[in-house]
Amino acid sequence: MRRWHAWRRPPRLGGDRRAALAGALVVALLGTASCTGTAASGPATAGSPPASTSASAAPTGSAAAASPGSPAAAPAQVPDTLRFTGTTLTGAAFDAAQLAGRPVVLWFWAPWCATCASQAWTVAEVAPQYRDTVPIIGVAGLGEQKAMKEFVTEFDLTGTPQLDDRKGTLWRRFKVTEQSIFVIIDRNGKVVHQGFLDGEALTARVAALAGA
């Protein structure tokens, strides 16, 4: 004959014993949290490094540190055609590498050239409009510096960089043998035109390059 053992409820704890037990549990939990160092940030996930080391894991200035949606733009590669430096007629240093990534127009002129004088008015008008999109850089040669500066002043070209190339370094580099010559370099560094352009043709070329 089976016997069912009577189920007995465990004895109820008195109020003092319940309070003491609760207090002991709180003390134990606080002690555990203070040992792990994660009480302020919640429990660490499995396999994650402690908070004190994860903050220094990301290198300073890394792409991960950039704000979302605003990646740093990669610098444009400098083509061989723009790997040259010079000095402007005002004495400022000039580095063509700063023009990389944009179409560029080089204007080779001489201060005594009548054709250059007729083109100067167009350059003075067009260059400021496209300064940021299609820079026009003058390259003065075959003359004296004083005459070059007077040419720039007379035709109001002071707002456009004018390089002093009395030694002919850039003229030889681009194989320019006469004036007035325009050398047009596209945004990839390829020479797409080298030769004469009248004012109307120059304006159309520059406008097309700016919209490309």
Token pair, residue 131, equals 């300064």
The residue behind tokens 């083509």 is 79
Alpha helices of the chain — where are they, by DSSP H? Answer: 15-36, 51-54, 114-126, 145-154, 169-173, 199-211
Beta-carbon neighbour count of residue 181 at 10 Å?
Answer: 21
pLDDT computed for residue 73 by the predictor: 53
C-alpha to C-alpha distance for 61 and 207, rounded to whole angstroms? 39
Can you list the domains of the chain with their CATH numbers?
80-211 (3.40.30.10)
Percentage of the chain lying above the pLDDT 90 cut: 63
| Mean pLDDT for the chain overall | 76
Tens digits of per-residue pLDDT, 110-166?
A: 999 999 999 999 999 999 999 999 999 999 999 999 999 999 999 999 989 999 999
Q: Which residues contact 164 (CB under 8 A, 6 or more apart)?
A: 86, 87, 88, 89, 140, 145, 148
